[in-house]
Amino acid sequence: MHSRIYKILFIILFLTSSAGAQGFRGLSDTSHYTEPNNIDVRLFRTINNTRNGFSDAVIPITDKTLLPVSIVLPLGLIGIGRAGNNYYDENTGVLLMLSEITSTAVTFGMKTLIKRERPSVTLRNVHVNRGNSLTDRYSFPSGHTSMAFSIATSLTLRYTDKPAIIAGSFFYAVIIGYGRIYLGVHYPSDVFAGALIGAGSAALIFSLRKEIINGKNNLFNESGYPDANQKSLSAPVILGTFIAADLINFLILKNNRMRVSFSPDTKINFNYNF
C-alpha cells in the first residue's frame, strides 16, 4: 500500500517539476518581455494581486513562525513526554523531527537540481514583502510548505483521535502555503509540490515508526516502554506552540516598530545560508 502511494507521489512530483522548470529561468531580455500564459502564473497573479489589510498583517507574522515552531514543537514533545512519562508524545516528537529532516533534505535537493527562479525574478509587478528574507534563491519546491505539511501530516497520523490537533495543524500549514504565494516568493506549483513532499516524508517516517522507536528505545536501554496514546498532553502543547509563536512574533514586530508593506517590483535581499 505504502509503495503505491510513494509511486503516485513521485509521478506527481516529476510532472510538476517538469512543468515548473519550463519558461521561468529569468528575464534576460526585458525589452521583449512576454509573461508566460499558463495556469501556474494566472493563479499566482490571482492570489498575489488580491490584497487586503487582514492578510497583510497576519500572513507575514505567521510565515516567520515556521522556523521556531519546527524546532520547539518536536523538542517540546520529547521533553514534556519524557518528563511526564508520556512515551507516546515523546516518540511523536522523535518521528516529527525525522519527518522534518527528511522533507528538508528532499526539498533542497530538488531546489538545487531544478534551479527554478522565484516569481519576483521572472515576473514583473509582483507584490513582495519588503522585510522578507530567503534562505536560498530557488523557488521549486516550497521549503516552508514542505515543512508545514510535514508537521501537519505527522501529527495527524499520530493523533487520529484528536480533531483539534488535525484541524489546527492543517489550518496552520494551509496559511503557510497560501502565504508563500501571497508574499510573492513562490508559484502555486511550488506550494503544491512542497505539500506533497512534506506529506510524503511524514508518511514514510510513520511507516517506519516501529523500527525507529525500537531503535531509540534500545539506544537508551528503554525497550520495555510502550508506545501507547494514553495520558497524552499533546493537544495543549501543540496548539499552544502555534499560538505562542504567532503572539511572540507579533510582539517582536510591534516592539521593533516594523511595518509590513507591499509594493510592486520591491527588491528582495537574498540570504544564502544553505
Q: What is the pLDDT of residues 32-79, one digit of tens each?
A: 567 778 899 999 999 988 888 888 888 888 888 888 889 888 988 888
As given in the structure block, the three cell numbers for residue 218 are 534500545
Distance of alpha carbon 253 from alpha carbon 274, whole angstroms: 25
Closest CA to 178 of 267, 47, 51: 47
Distance of alpha carbon 54 from alpha carbon 127, whole angstroms: 16
As given in the structure block, the three cell numbers for residue 49 are 494581486
**Residue-wise pLDDT tens digits, 131-165:** 565 667 888 999 999 999 999 999 999 988 888 88
pLDDT at 253: 59
The most confident of the ranges 14-18, 19-23, 143-147 is 143-147
CA 35 to chain CA centroid, nearest Å: 28
Helices (H), 23-86: 39-49, 53-63, 66-83
Please say whether the beta carbons of 60 and 132 come within 8 A.
yes
β-pair type (269-270, 133-134): parallel
Whether this model's pTM surpasses 0.95? no
Q: Considering Cα of 163, then 177, then 183, then 124, what sign does the dihedral take? A: negative
93-132 as b/e: b if 16+ CB within 10 A = bbbbbbbbebbbebbbebbeebebbbbbbbbeebbbbeeb
Q: Which residue has the cell 517516517?
A: 205
pLDDT at 199: 96
pLDDT at 16: 45
CATH 1.20.144 for domain 61-259, yes or no, is: yes
Please say whether the beta carbons of 187 and 140 come within 8 A.
yes
Domain boundaries, the chain: 61-259
**Residue-wise pLDDT tens digits, 181-202:** 999 999 999 999 999 999 999 9
225-259 as b/e: b if 16+ CB within 10 A = eebebeebbbeebbbebbeebbeebbeebeeeeee
- Over range 246-251, report the average pLDDT: 65
Which stretches of 132-193 are assigned E, i.e. beta strand?
A: 133-134
